[in-house]
A and B are shown apart, each in its own frame.
Chain A
Amino acid sequence: MDFEEMEERIAQMMTGINRYNPENLMTLEMYVNMQCRENKYDLEANLAVLKLYQLNPMHFKKPVTALILLKALTNLPHSDFTLCKCLIDESYQMEEPITTILHIAKLLEMCKFKEFWVEVDEKASLFLDLKDFNNSIRKYICHVVSITYQQIDQVLLSDLLGSLTEMELQQWIKAMNWKEMPDGYIFINNQEENVKTKNITEKIGFDNVSSVMKLCRS
């Protein structure tokens, strides 16, 4: 079954009260693995898995939960990771590998990208089952850079993206529509147009004045 077929089947499975049917778990867990293998993502289905774990604690599977959390990171800057966290019982959040994943999420959320790449290197085994995990995270990093910078130091950018080779860096710059400048900076975006000082001045409408004008007559 290819991914699209599966996606449709799952969507049907999720309608109404059937979302809470524990018999769906097997299929849904398979679907999580499929998302990891094929670099696809379905937040709603994954939340349904966590929901079923919440309602049926004896069915809880830590490896699946870990995969769901890692997949949620690939959808940053959306707050999917937080949504997942709210459904995972606190006691599991104190167990490995969930604790490590929580730590990694915090680094990403706080934009400590350099530390993040060090951690990823050390815990490489965690990400083995996820296709293109690093590139998904790079997409998020590029997003944050693109809303923050007008021009960024090339060395810094390369560091943030996890020490890419010159070739890879060029590919990302091209994909993002950025421009290399002669002075060692990368031109990201013209921010002057997006980030402007707003002036809110008072507008006195006719209605405001009319009440005062009435007084003039008396």
Chain B
Amino acid sequence: MAYSGHDEVDPYAYDRSYHTGDPNQDFGYEQHYQPGKSYIVPEEIKNFLLFFQRSVSEGNVADISTCYEHDFNKLSERFFKNSPWPDAENIIQTVGNDQVFLILYKELFYRHIIARTQSGPTQEQRFESYYNYCNFFNYILNADGPVGLQLPDQWLWDIIDEFIYQFQDFCKYRSKIANKSDEEIAFLRTNPKIWNVHSVLNVLHSLVDKSNINAQLEMYGKGDDPDLLGGEFGRHPLYKMLGYFSLIGLLRLHSLLGDYYQAIKVLEYIELDKQTSYTQVPTCQVTTYYYVGFAYMMMRRYKDAIRSFSSILLYIQRTNYMVSTSGSYQIDVVKKMNDQIMNLLAICLVLHPMRIDEGLQAALSEKYGEKIQRMEKGEPQAFDDAFSYACPRFLSPVPPNYDDPNFNFHKEPFTLQVKVFMEEVEQQISIPTIRSFLKLYTTMPISKLSAFLDMSEDEFKTHLLCFKHKMNSLVWTKGTSGLEGEFQSGSEVDFYIDKEMVHIADTKVARRYGEFFIQQIHKFSELNKAMKTKQQLANEDFSGGQRF
């Protein structure tokens, strides 16, 4: 994302001072466009398209990047804030019948509509966008040899991401049959293949197969050159990256369907503990660790979930992503996910307290302290709220019953996942209370502790077994497969029972004096410096005063 130098060197032949400054004139462009009517493409747009087209055909990735990430958005902002870009027929006269460019253009065209239309795209637009993706993937997958196209990684990731997003959105749209016309329902009924879950899976799997990405990742993990196994297609960056992003796409899709095992399984050759090794696309990184952590959380592998969440939060912090790319279309995505991940991390830490990075811990306590307290007190609603906010938008993969809206095969998939999670929380709900009591002692007879907790001894022993069972979970230790692991008790407070006595082991953290002192020393030195400069200034003033 190197924009530097971009403004000095003007690659386009059109005027780059975006706003004319005349609101009427700017507004006028938006008014020009009327769907269905012939539309005169403004000169600047024409020039942009021609430059864009030339960059694509020359395979100049840096220029494509600029057009895609920068100029398209700027021009959208100026010309098409409340209206779509000119449709493909209208730009043919400018760019000619360049099929590949038209497919790419339409990808942006529909994405722009979907992002800007409050009420959502029409059924027809959804279908057209689907066909356009099919054309794109067919072009790439059905070729005899690798196609010559080159696109920036960010765009390739966005294509996979958007493809799944539109599928997700379509499923939601399809399930609401109450507010559809008979015509629309009839069309949905007769076109079951459009945005079908099998087609979506098929695309992602085909890209994975074509690129040989798993074999490549395996080689890469061993420290060998992945190109050796990539084959004709896999060596080509377009195929390789689409293959990689499709794996992340599958991770997401499986998670949206509640299939957490398969979600982690598709990543079996990706080394999750080595972060930025394969791709530099931040939105892809954040998506990966959000879904991985979420799947771990649902599998009750809290330690793995906490590790995934912490590492991506630190990554966002370290790369200063939310500050540096302000204004970019990706920032909202990362911001929202950052907040969701913080919520999930809070949940996991309540269920499985352990030490994490101190900065993160401080940020959590500051921003989510109240929520955390409510969860620690065992308020089910607090868990429910945090989960509902932070979970992915689950989807139902099958069409609703068009004949009888009241009788559906599928209930809202979201409620199922909430229910499963809340049942887990319910099973663990007394653990935090027991933990808070255990923390106070090093040894204690069962009879006494059970009396403190107002339980019978038998009941208390059962709770203690449950405590141990729930806090003992699989933890990943080595290898690329995220499903592997060994059983560990990694939580803060641990204990064992010997005959009728509980022996407790706590994690004691000594107060950190060093850091405090170092900070104070620095502050003091700053103060000292400030005073010295003040004094110097005062002296100069004084001597200055004497001179005149």
Residues on A facing B (Cβ under 8 Å): 16-17, 20, 43-44, 47, 51, 54-57, 77-79, 82-83, 85-87, 89-91, 106, 109-113, 144-145, 147-153, 156, 185, 191-192, 194-202, 204, 208-209, 211-212, 215, 218
- Residues of chain B within 8 A of A87, CB atoms compared: 257-259
**Chain A: CB-nearest residue to B499:** A151
Q: Are B465 and A79 closer than 8 Å at their CB atoms?
A: no
A169 to B231, CA, bound (A): 59
**Chain A: CB-nearest residue to B426:** A106
As a 0/1 sequence over residues 432 to 469 of chain B, the CB contacts with chain A under 8 angstroms (1 = contact) are: 00000000001000000000000000000111111011
Considering the complex, which residues of chain B in the window 503-519 have a beta carbon less than 8 Å from any beta carbon of chain A?
503, 505-515, 518
Contacts A16-B205, A43-B261, A86-B259 given; indicate if A197 touches B496 (C-beta within 8 A).
Answer: no
A196 to B493, CA, bound (A): 10
Q: Are A90 and B416 closer than 8 Å at their CB atoms?
A: yes
A46 to B417, CA, bound (A): 19
Given contacts A106-B427, A148-B465, A197-B442, 18 further A-B pairs with CB under 8 A are A16-B209, A43-B261, A57-B410, A79-B299, A79-B300, A82-B420, A83-B298, A86-B420, A109-B466, A110-B466, A144-B469, A150-B503, A152-B497, A185-B499, A202-B510, A208-B515, A208-B518, A215-B522
As a 0/1 sequence over residues 395 to 437 of chain B, the CB contacts with chain A under 8 angstroms (1 = contact) are: 0011000000000011100011101100110010000000000
A51 to B262, CA, bound (A): 10
B503, chain A: closest CB distance, angstroms: 7
A215 to B259, CA, bound (A): 57
**Chain A: CB-nearest residue to B258:** A86
Contacts A55-B197, A144-B465 given; indicate if A195 touches B259 (C-beta within 8 A).
Answer: no
A115 to B533, CA, bound (A): 77
Considering the complex, which residues of chain B in the window 472-513 have a beta carbon less than 8 Å from any beta carbon of chain A?
472-474, 487, 489, 494-499, 503, 505-513
A77 to B511, CA, bound (A): 37
**Chain A: CB-nearest residue to B512:** A202
Q: Are A47 and B261 closer than 8 Å at their CB atoms?
A: yes
Q: How many residues of B contact A (CB 8 A)?
A: 70
Q: Does B201 contact A (CB under 8 A)?
A: yes
Our pick among A54, A147, A209 for the contact of B468 (Cβ within 8 Å) is: A147
- Residues of chain A within 8 A of B474, CB atoms compared: 78
Q: Does B202 contact A (CB under 8 A)?
A: yes
- Residues of chain B within 8 A of A55, CB atoms compared: 197-198, 397-398
Contacts A82-B420, A86-B298 given; indicate if A77 touches B472 (C-beta within 8 A).
Answer: yes
Our pick among B258, B300, B506 for the contact of A197 (Cβ within 8 Å) is: B506
A148 to B461, CA, bound (A): 10
Our pick among B398, B420, B463, B497 for the contact of A85 (Cβ within 8 Å) is: B420
A218 to B206, CA, bound (A): 65
- Residues of chain B within 8 A of A89, CB atoms compared: 409-411, 416
Q: Are A202 and B298 closer than 8 Å at their CB atoms?
A: no
Contacts A198-B507, A199-B508 given; indicate if A20 touches B496 (C-beta within 8 A).
Answer: no
- Residues of chain B within 8 A of A47, CB atoms compared: 259, 261-262
Q: Are A212 and B521 closer than 8 Å at their CB atoms?
A: yes
- Residues of chain A within 8 A of B259, CB atoms compared: 47, 51, 86-87
Q: Are A90 and B507 closer than 8 Å at their CB atoms?
A: no
Q: Are A144 and B468 closer than 8 Å at their CB atoms?
A: yes
Q: Are A195 and B469 closer than 8 Å at their CB atoms?
A: no
**Chain B: CB-nearest residue to A145:** B465
Q: Are B409 and A150 closer than 8 Å at their CB atoms?
A: no
B185, chain A: closest CB distance, angstroms: 19
A3 to B397, CA, bound (A): 33
- Residues of chain A within 8 A of B462, CB atoms compared: 110-113
A199 to B518, CA, bound (A): 22
Q: Does B525 contact A (CB under 8 A)?
A: yes
Our pick among A112, A152, A196, A212 for the contact of B518 (Cβ within 8 Å) is: A212
- Residues of chain B within 8 A of A77, CB atoms compared: 469, 472, 487
- Residues of chain B within 8 A of A197, CB atoms compared: 442, 505-508
Q: Does B195 contact A (CB under 8 A)?
A: no
Candidate in B411, B442, B468 with the most chain A CB atoms within 10 angstroms: B468
Contacts A86-B298, A89-B410 given; indicate if A148 touches B464 (C-beta within 8 A).
Answer: yes
**Chain B: CB-nearest residue to A208:** B518
B257, chain A: closest CB distance, angstroms: 7
Our pick among B301, B509, B515 for the contact of A200 (Cβ within 8 Å) is: B509
- Residues of chain A within 8 A of B473, CB atoms compared: 79
For the complex of A and B, the 7 pairs showing the least CB-CB separation, nearest first, are: A191-B496, A111-B465, A150-B498, A57-B409, A86-B258, A204-B514, A17-B205
As a 0/1 sequence over residues 198 to 221 of chain B, the CB contacts with chain A under 8 angstroms (1 = contact) are: 100110011011000000000000
13 pairs of residues in contact across A and B, judged by CB atoms under 8 Å: A17-B205, A43-B261, A44-B265, A51-B262, A83-B298, A89-B411, A109-B466, A156-B461, A197-B506, A199-B507, A202-B510, A211-B522, A212-B521
- Residues of chain A within 8 A of B420, CB atoms compared: 82, 85-86
Q: Are A195 and B505 closer than 8 Å at their CB atoms?
A: yes
A147 to B503, CA, bound (A): 13
- Residues of chain B within 8 A of A57, CB atoms compared: 398, 409-410
**Chain A: CB-nearest residue to B411:** A90
B505, chain A: closest CB distance, angstroms: 4
Our pick among B208, B419, B497 for the contact of A149 (Cβ within 8 Å) is: B497
Q: Does B260 contact A (CB under 8 A)?
A: yes
